[in-house]
Amino acid sequence: MIHALAELDVLHIWETGLSQSPPVRALTVLGAAFPDISREELGALTIGQRDAWLFAVRDLLFGPTMTATAACPGCQGQVEFSLRTDDLRLPEQAAPQQAHTLSTGGYELTFRLPDSHDLHNLPDDGGPDTARSALLHRCVLECRHAGGSVSIDVLPEQVVEDMAARMAELDPQAELQLTLRCAHCGQPWQVLLDIVSFLWVEIAAKARRLLREVHDLARAYGWHERYILAMSPIRRAAYRELGG
């Protein structure tokens, strides 16, 4: 069951997540919002399922509309766009971590979809090729060719690409591509919406606002952080005005 995050939870997520990588931050957010589900289970959600759950958390925390700005590749103008999370959340997909199969180019592949444990365990050094190869090694369960088992290191590029395409099809929420249109020059372009970094920016901004309020009120009145955060935002705003 999803748990509505309080302001204190937001501060806790923020200070915990500051030193974490994005895949681990995502689990920190989910861990706070789904306290009944173990970290192990959350980490085993496919990336698309993880992102669908993050959209649900974001809904509760910030409401159904997301706004952001992006630079138009045509005229370089700043374009503000707003999205409804309902439009971005796809219906729940396949059960987590079942094995899938694909026959292509004479190869029989059995694989599972990438999850947060996989992303967290990718090597830090090395570029996208190293990461992709590490992900393949984790997610491909079996690879057969001409009646025998073969190493995934010998897979033709096309076979790897076919499997990547099949993975994206099976977990469409994992890669959310949006088409934006520039309000100034009409140019359309595509962007990938990364809910983890989008939500993190919002959480960090909210945490900083809260700390500012605590700072102002603690300085003006000598109150403890705990009491200040227990007040309603309206009351805090009123005291801040009075405190000058």
Q: How far is the CB of 198 from Zn ion (least distance, A)?
A: 22
What ranges make up the beta strands (E) of 116-230? 140-145, 148-149, 176-181, 188-193
Q: Which of 8, 71, 75, 237 binds Zn ion (CB under 5 A)?
A: 75
Please report whether residue 84 would count as binding Zn ion according to CB under 5 A.
no
Please report whether residue 185 would count as binding Zn ion according to CB under 5 A.
yes
Q: Report the residue number, 6 or 183, with the smaller CB distance to Zn ion.
A: 183
CA distances from residue 142 to 19, 116, 205 in whole angstroms, order as listed: 36, 21, 45
Please report whether residue 187 would count as binding Zn ion according to CB under 5 A.
yes
Q: Report the residue number, 160 or 182, with the smaller CB distance to Zn ion.
A: 182
Do residues 198 and 70 lie in contact, with contact meaning Cβ atoms separated by under 8 Å? no
Residue of 47, 3, 48 lying closest to 29 (CA atoms): 3
Q: Which of 84, 137, 184, 208 binds Zn ion (CB under 5 A)?
A: 184
Q: How far is the CB of 188 from Zn ion (least distance, A)?
A: 10
Q: Which of 72, 155, 176, 199 binds Zn ion (CB under 5 A)?
A: 72
Structure tokens at 138: 């984790």
Angle between helical axes of 195-221 and 7-17 (0-180°, round to 10): 110
Q: How far is the CB of 189 from Zn ion (least distance, A)?
A: 9
Please report whether residue 207 would count as binding Zn ion according to CB under 5 A.
no
Q: What angle do CA 24, 30, 35 make, to 5 degrees?
A: 125
Span near Zn ion by CB under 5 A; candidates 4-12, 129-137, 139-147, 186-194: 186-194
Footprint of Zn ion on residues 92-151 (CB under 5 A)?
Answer: none
Please report whether residue 74 would count as binding Zn ion according to CB under 5 A.
yes
Q: 120 CB contacts (<8 Å, ≥6 apart)?
A: 21, 23, 24, 43
Please report whether residue 182 would count as binding Zn ion according to CB under 5 A.
yes
Strand-pairing partners, residue 169, are none
Q: Report the residue number, 72 or 143, with the smaller CB distance to Zn ion.
A: 72
CA distances from residue 132 to 32, 129, 135, 139, 197 in whole angstroms, order as listed: 30, 5, 5, 10, 21
Burial of 56 (0-12, 13-18, 19+ CB in 10 A): middle
Q: How far is the CB of 75 from Zn ion (least distance, A)?
A: 3
Span near Zn ion by CB under 5 A; candidates 19-27, 106-114, 134-142, 178-186: 178-186
Binding site for Zn ion (CB under 5 A): 72, 74-75, 77, 182, 184-185, 187
